[in-house]
């Protein structure tokens, strides 16, 4: 549900439109991930780290900088290995990685 809000997806839209929109968002995130990997996470401010986590589905409001950086490193390791044709796997990974990370912290 939270991920739907981040990606501006509503269940009231036709399924074909939702699929297209989700795929375009995932591919855009994938391009941002590659750029972030080239730049290096050390170059990002605390605010940028938290925004990057949020864009990828992780609620980072109660996380420290080190935790955000560790999660993003894990995410980038997965995201940058996947091909564009594996966008659905990346979308499912967003949900699994963010939910499991939040539960591990509780």
HSE-CB of 9 using CA atoms within 13 angstroms: 21
pTM for the structure as a whole? 0.74
Residue 20 has pLDDT above 50, yes or no: yes
Q: Which domain holds residue 12?
A: 1-104
Residue 104 has pLDDT above 50, yes or no: no
Q: Within 10 Å of residue 68's Cβ, how many Cβ atoms?
A: 22
What per-residue confidence (pLDDT) applies to 80?
A: 84
Tens digit of each residue's pLDDT (9 = 90 or more) over 38-55 = 999 999 999 999 999 988
Q: How many domains does the chain contain in total?
A: 1
Question: Quick check: 74 and 97 in contact, CB under 8 A?
Answer: yes
Mean pLDDT of 61-85: 87
Integer Cα distance of 46 and 95 in angstroms: 23
What per-residue confidence (pLDDT) applies to 79?
A: 87
CA gyration radius, the chain: 14
What per-residue confidence (pLDDT) applies to 100?
A: 66
Tens digit of each residue's pLDDT (9 = 90 or more) over 4-13 = 655 656 667 6
Residue 74 has pLDDT above 80, yes or no: yes
What per-residue confidence (pLDDT) applies to 56?
A: 86
């Amino acid at each position: 549900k939270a991920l739907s809000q981040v990606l501006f997806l509503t269940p009231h839209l036709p399924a074909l439109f939702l699929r297209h929109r989700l795929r375009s968002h995932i591919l855009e995130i994938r391009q941002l991930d590659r750029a972030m990997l080239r730049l290096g996470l050390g170059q990002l401010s605390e605010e940028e780290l938290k925004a990057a986590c949020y864009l990828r589905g992780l609620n980072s409001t109660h996380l420290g900088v080190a935790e955000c950086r560790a999660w993003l490193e894990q995410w980038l390791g997965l995201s940058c290995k996947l091909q564009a044709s594996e966008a659905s796997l990346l979308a499912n990974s967003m949900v699994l990685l963010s939910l499991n990370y939040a539960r591990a912290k509780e």
